[in-house]
Amino acid sequence: MSKSITNLKISVSGIRGVVGETLTPRLISAFSASFGQYVGAGPVIIGRDTRSTGLMVEQAVIAGLLSVGCQPILCEILPTPSIQVMVSHLNAVGGIAITASHNPMSWNAMKFINGNGMFLNNIEAREVLDIYNQENIRYIHEEQCRSIKYHHDAFSVHQQRILKHIDCEIIQQKKFKVAIDCANGAGAPYSQDFLEALGCEVVAIHTETDGIFRRKPEPTPDALGKLEEIVKSHHCDIGFAQDPDADRLVIVDNLGNALNENYTLALAVQHITLSDNSPICVNLATSKMIEDICKINGNELRYTKIGEINVSTEMVKCGAKIGGEANGGVIWPIIHPCRDSFGGMALILELLAKQGQSISQIIDTLPKYYFGSIKLPCSSEKSLHVMRLLKKEHAHLQPLLLDGMRLNWKDRWIIIRSSNTEPLLRIQAEADTPEKLAKMLGEFKEKCLDLMK
């Protein structure tokens, strides 16, 4: 398999690659021009995370957009959810988030956002790809070239939306002590001030924005040892951890224990469903905790394919008040139908304030399951081969094929699917005991590895 195949991903999630190998200025500019032609000659919001390659990518994006008559509006370092909010706030024709999210520093990417402030769906993404592949971009002449504009206070628009829809007073009265791990990412310039606006005393780590990630960028519990130490040593009420583009959120409880990513969404859903019976939308890889919470509080639960846009689209369609993804992605559509770590922090702090319990006490009231995942390096072509064989082998279990393959039992489930963002085969599973989980993950890991040979 060539390096160019493994180090470049073109999908509904955007264009990702290793800078200097597969993600080149020429490719970036060409895809930006294709996107600009698709959305039309209007304003396009551009924001980026803190990667050192962000400025280079930004300049190539600007060139591509200007070449087809768009007007770039630069917001500099800005969380991805804030970029999405700004698209709707300024009635832009679209947006581009320059971020490779949880990928290593050597990667960068472009996430394309439509005029509704949501990521492109499969149909929209295919149309942009068709424009790129057909190489029939309509470049403008000199007299049609537009200027570049700047917006230096974009995050405040996002913050004010959240503060408008949260009970700031009850949170401020509690004077929570909060630790925040900003992952040296796009949340770093804003997270401490945001929490202080909610009356919190804040201990912030990994706030440097020099493009160097000082912990693993994906905010999984195994990467949050320093945050756990900070919460314990400073006697914090809660700890929050973001990823580099600040759309995902993971929690450390008041005892200094990093929680599985599923708990972030479970806490947000628990909070909203206590007073609202509208539907809840989550993806297929979401914990059974959500199913149990919905049964107790009388909410309909709707599953979607994995991927933020699939959940967001269903939420808008059915009027859901809360939803999200199992990776710590809380979607609170009254702010914007997108994953948003800032909205997630506000909701969970409001829950803490209103419940009058510690976060560990609240966690103890939730149903308990054990979640695990495995990533196996695997090309898209090989993934298709493996999935085809797995579906045939397990047809008698009537697998759910909405996205990859999900097998369900009363006390456990497992999903095997090809990643949308990396050359990986993902195995995600949950069970009511750690022994069942380990056994199931081990069996399917060996099965997949055998099928890859």
Instruction: Give the active site residues.
Output: 101
Q: How far apart are CA 79 and CA 387, in angstroms?
A: 35
Instruction: Show the tokens assigned to 394.
Output: 């397990």
The CB density around residue 60, as the number of other CB atoms within 10 Å, is 22
CB burial of residue 170 (10 Å; 0-12, 13-18, 19+): middle
- Bridging pattern class, strands 177-181 and 201-205: parallel
The CB density around residue 261, as the number of other CB atoms within 10 Å, is 25
Would you report the helix, strand and coil content of the chain in percent, each value rounded to 5?
40, 25, 35
Spatial strand order of the sheet with 249-252 comes to 201-205, 177-181, 238-242, 249-252
State the chain's maximal CA–CA distance in angstroms.
Answer: 68
Q: How far apart are CA 453 and CA 438, in angstroms?
A: 23
Element (H, E) at 417: strand 412-418
Q: Which residues contact 318 (CB under 8 A, 6 or more apart)?
A: 278, 279, 281, 302
DSSP code at position 137: -
